[in-house]
Chain A
């Protein structure tokens, strides 16, 4: 499962870890997060996340 990065604050959502503080168990794919889920660090909505490798690939 892919990691996703918040483009607003840099927080990385790692499905292997989930978001335990936010009540999301380990093993939850990013796609399966509820629409109401927000970035725990900055409050940004899900659409502000990008797959990690896509973002890394953009840096020369």
Chain B
């Protein structure tokens, strides 16, 4: 029997962890990663540090040169996959090449969502997803000026602080009446707004972008109610959409993401999916640790090992300068009781069900309880503050 031929589309955390897992289970497999990135595998969630110059791109690389050769993983960078053909077990790449596979992983990620406001396609409007985006934002920030960030979620806030650090006057526009509406309650959102305001970020809450107009100088961003803000840069941080086109065009089942089972298999034989593009049960995760776990599970399954991925713990941490914001679970979920308290710039809110299990929690500033909350959530045991 010839060696198993595994092709991974996407070289981010899901694709890389999958390749490692395949190699761990199958020393003889041929493993190829096809990626449209020209940069080596890097820490995407730290791109804000490149925007404000805290770190050089090389500082975010996650593997030494030579590591892939040692692992016998072939990486083909700058390659766009045009089509997958599960019936023939082939992948078509741009320029006409075709590759055959025994097992194919789609770890193709997601694309920033830009709401369709007038002017959304102007050059002044940007997003942050890739290393090249980060370097472009850094370059534009050297001229200084005013910047509008559309979206006050975790990434939007982190980005606003990075842009302020990079030399912009930053204003965040958020549709909800307070910041981080899914992770934080109103009181927590207010703590955050005050702290970030002191760091040079302004806010328009319960607002929205009506349109962007380019002019001779700065562009104008019209917000709900008709007011307008000058902007030398508009960055949209309104979430991402899973990249499902390759799967959909090949007839692979797609809902919000590419639908996978507990072994990360798609509806097509020989095709797996993991990471930002994948939808496991009802959920899109869209964060680093879940993507890595899915990649590991998919790789093991591709190598023929039994796999039962039951989902990942939802948690996220935002670092804004020296201030940390941590959220776990879902603050919009039903809960039986809550503990919340503010102490200066620190805030905690913990919501529990009748059995005392955490349904959702947020910590701002003081992270002492974070570890206990993560462990309690992973174990499903009732939570007792230390």
Contact = CB atoms under 8 A, between A and B. Distances in A.
A56 to B, nearest CB: 9
Contact of A41 (B43, B319, B379): B43
A60 B62 CA distance: 32
Nearest to B326: A8
A23 to B, nearest CB: 11
A50 B288 CA distance: 18
Contacts of A21: 61-64
A1 interface: no
A60 B380 contact: yes
Interface string B60-84: 0111100000000000000000000
B317 A8 contact: yes
A40 B293 contact: no
A25 interface: no
B289 A58 contact: no
A60 B380 CA distance: 8
A46 to B, nearest CB: 12
Interface stretch (B161-169, B297-305, B369-377): B369-377
A59 B377 CA distance: 9
Nearest to B65: A21
Instruction: Place the interface of chain B in its size category.
Output: 20 to 34
A47 to B, nearest CB: 8
B69 to A, nearest CB: 14
A48 B371 contact: yes
Given A40-B43, A43-B43, A58 B64 contact: no
Contacts of B371: 7, 48, 50
A40 B288 CA distance: 12
B346 to A, nearest CB: 16
A10 interface: yes
Contacts of B63: 21
Contact of B317 (A11, A41, A44, A50): A44
B292 interface: yes
Contacts of A58: 375, 378-379
A9 B375 contact: no
A41 B64 CA distance: 14
Nearest to B368: A47
B276 interface: no
A20 interface: yes
A1 B49 CA distance: 32
Given A21-B64, A48-B370, A50-B371, A60 B379 contact: yes
Nearest to B375: A58
Interface in A4-60: 7-11, 20-21, 40-44, 48, 50, 55, 58-60
Contacts of A42: 43, 45-46, 288, 317
Given A48-B371, A58-B379, A60-B379, A10 B293 contact: yes
Interface in B358-386: 367, 370-371, 374-375, 378-380
Interface of B: 13, 43, 45-46, 49, 61-64, 288-289, 292-293, 315, 317, 319, 367, 370-371, 374-375, 378-380
8 closest cross-chain pairs (CB), A and B = A10-B289, A58-B379, A9-B288, A58-B375, A8-B317, A9-B289, A7-B374, A20-B64
